[in-house]
Amino acid sequence: MVYQIATSRSTSSTSENRSFQLEVSGLHQNESTDRNNYAIRSSASVLLTVPYSRLSAELQRVNRLGGKVVSIQPLG
């Protein structure tokens, strides 16, 4: 008997096409961002659009920068 295992991914996967809009408050300059060549703008809230594949990494980055995620909404 010969078994074939399909490991290819479909390019029309719903997770690859999804984007989310994050509303973040409280972003500010800290020791982690001091190493950047640019300043972090401090404001009441910021809207970020990220693909599903980067959502976890972006949430971690916001946390490191001292921000708080106010809302997460799917786009499209």
In the prediction, which pLDDT does 17 show?
82
The answer as to whether 14 is a domain residue is no
| Residue range of the domain that includes 45 | 25-75
In the prediction, which pLDDT does 19 show?
95
Binned at pLDDT 50, 70 and 90, residue 12 comes out as low
Distance between CA 34 and CA 64 in Å, rounded? Answer: 12
Binned at pLDDT 50, 70 and 90, residue 14 comes out as low
The answer as to whether 38 is a domain residue is yes
Q: Which helix (H) or strand (E) holds 56?
A: helix 55-64
* Digit-coded pLDDT (tens) for 15-55: 668 999 999 988 766 666 666 666 665 557 888 899 999 99
Number of domains in the chain: 1
In the prediction, which pLDDT does 54 show?
94
